[in-house]
Amino acid sequence: MTALTKIKLDWPALPNIHAFVTTREGGYSDGKYSNLNLASHVNDNLFTVNRNRSLLKDSVPYDLSFQWLNQIHSSSVVKIESSGKQQKCDGLVCAVSGIACCILTADCLPIFFTNKSGTEIAIAHAGWRGICNGIIENLVNTMDSEPEDIVSYLGPAIGPCHYEVGMDLKSKFKESKVCRKLWNDIEKCFCSINGSNKYFLDLYQATKVILTSLGVNQIYGGNECTYCQKDKYFSFRRDGNTGRMASVIFMEP
């Protein structure tokens, strides 16, 4: 085991807001899950996953509680005032200190949110299904903060260099209620591969288009690729059955 590695966000959040993403470095998992797999649903040994989660808990304030999700690639967002059993949703909003809001990813996009006054946080698990179904809009609308007061950060996801998709997925974006009104800008996020019906999709840019349309203009991050950085990140598209990183945000207890 090596030391647990966390990437802290480079964004202008107030000092009481703490947010980070774990890498695959550190932890006890081996094989395809090596080393810091934090997901219990990927067939890794559950005892090992719990050991990894204990490492995560030991790296934050002792009185912090964790809220995990049962992620379903939906547009569902839940506002919480306390931590508890897994929430079946893909977004959390919280205005209570001492609760770590967590999502798990291995190519999908983790989106972090806070406000300029440091009194509210939120996080979303955004793959193409969630984006098409409105996860970003629902989360911004669930927050009490006005869009112009929201600061966002796009965590590590599969980049436009490797996210290959077909015409069918492009059509789903075009037909979705969310993207239809923004289609002129969303379409630019699809780059044709050698003039074929295959495209590289830029999830980062598509997310920026939607956030900007909602009035969220302070957007940071969005410059990593989980597929490219094999030693740093898990990637489902690259490896198939694999581990998951955790994206975590909390207000200082």
Which letter, b or e, does each residue of 163-189 get, where b requires 16 or more Cβ atoms within 10 Å of its Cβ? bebeeebbeebeebebbeebeebbeeb
The secondary structure of 135-196 as a DSSP string is HHHHHHHHSSS-GGGEEEEE-----TTT-EEEHHHHHHHHHSHHHHTTHHHHGGGEEESTTS
Residue boundaries of the structural domains of the chain: 6-158+215-251
Burial class (CB in 10 A: 0-12, 13-18, 19+), 25: middle
Tens of each residue's pLDDT in the chain, 253 residues: 567 899 999 999 999 999 999 999 999 999 999 999 999 999 999 999 999 999 999 999 999 999 999 999 999 999 999 999 999 999 999 999 999 999 999 999 999 999 999 999 999 999 999 999 999 999 999 999 999 999 999 999 999 999 999 999 999 999 999 999 999 999 999 999 998 999 999 999 999 999 999 999 999 999 999 999 999 999 999 999 999 999 999 999 8
pLDDT at position 71 = 97
CB neighbourhood size of 84 (10 A) = 10
- Looking at this protein, which amino acid is placed at residue 165? V
pLDDT at position 44 = 97
pLDDT at position 1 = 56
CATH of domain 6-158+215-251: 3.60.140.10
CB neighbourhood size of 69 (10 A) = 20
